[in-house]
Amino acid sequence: MSAFRITASILALATCSAAVAQDSSDPIKLTLHDWTGQLITTQLMGEVLEEAGLSVEYVQADYLAQFAGLETGDLHVAMEMWETTGRDAMDAATATGNVVNVGPTGMKAKEEWWYPTYMKERCPGLPNWEALKEPACAEAFSTAETAPKGRYLGGPVTWGGFDDERVEALDLPFEVIHAGTDAALFAELESAIQREAPVLLWVYAPHWAPAKYDGEWVEFPEYTAECYTDPAWGMNADMAYDCGKPFGEIWKVAWAGVQDKWPTAYSAVDAFTISNDDMGAMITEVDLNGKSVDDVVADWMSANEDTWKTWIN
């Protein structure tokens, strides 16, 4: 072998080693929240990063308050920021320059007030939100604790969503009761449907609930950014949030230092994509069929090896 070829080979090996060395041996911290889909996407990403030889640590974090940790670099990657509830917090964090939006997950988010179809007989005019203003309709959704006002079961307070503000801005005769957990929210839905009891609650997609049960989302005035920021916008000239929730992407976000410290991880998070159908099927396996998140993620990894390997190659 010529001296030139030997030198070229040594340089190539050195370059390759340098590229590998770019990824820190420190654990990359992925945030965990309190709903099944996010636990799945996060563990799936973590398993892929471990396949790439990276160290991963999972950290339980508040959905909105996590941005304080992402801005300082104490947390590194959050796999699900929903356009419907997290956009304001995400935009404020990215505006600092310390957090970056790593692009969409491929899933499309919808979160809104939802009711089973049998409630339409008790509240004529649905899905138009104005039907909820009728005293008879509010009473149809009431419970002993809220009567004569209707009861709306919101998600955990940490999810945001501005439901309390929406009720006030649209002058709805409803009380907002927040479920303590994701599991409690949907346990109440299942119980109500089995009894054909009144229920109006926060339902989101991708999720098994709107696929399993026959129902509809309430149709509020269409969201615009001004609705959330300008009280003068919309039908209530004195209050913001007089509209429905935004629909759209589910985003991935990261501490801005991830790309330099763990370039392989950053590229993998950027490449990650999954469909609503695939995610809905995995959530169903966990929430309805009793499988563990570990097993569901392992099954997906085994069946989709050709997909996830492209994220790290």
Q: What is the pLDDT of residues 287-310, one digit of tens each?
A: 999 999 999 999 999 999 999 999
| For residues 223-233, average pLDDT | 94
Average pLDDT over residues 110-126: 96
Collapsing DSSP to helix, strand or coil, 121 comes out as coil
Percent of the chain, pLDDT > 90? 88
* Whether pLDDT at 129 is above 80: yes
pLDDT at 210 over 60: yes
User: Domain 110-229 class?
Assistant: alpha beta
In angstroms, the CA 302 to CA 65 distance is 34
- Per-residue pLDDT band for 313 (boundaries 50, 70, 90) equals confident
pLDDT, tens digit, for every residue of 149-187?
Answer: 999 999 999 998 999 999 999 999 999 999 999 999 999
- Is the pLDDT reported for residue 21 higher than 70? no
Indicate if 110-229 has the same CATH topology as 24-107+249-312: yes
- What are the E-state strand segments in 143-232? 150-154, 174-178, 201-205, 215-217
Residue 147, pLDDT above cutoff 60 = yes
Angle at 193 between CA 191 and CA 195, to 5 degrees: 75
What pTM did the predictor assign? 0.80
The whole-number average pLDDT for the span 274-282 is: 94
Q: What is the pLDDT of residue 17?
A: 39
Predicted pLDDT at 3: 44
pLDDT at 218 over 50: yes
Name 30's bridge partners. 58, 77
Give the per-residue pLDDT at 22.
86
CATH number attached to the domain at 24-107+249-312: 3.40.190.10
What confidence tier does 84 reach under pLDDT thresholds 50, 70, 90? confident
CA atoms of 215 and 84, how far apart (whole Å) = 20
- Spans of all domains in the chain: 24-107+249-312, 110-229
Calculate the alpha carbon distances from 308 to 51, 185, 265, 276, 305 in Å.
10, 32, 12, 17, 6
| 7 pLDDT more than 50 | no
What mean pLDDT is reported for the chain? Answer: 92
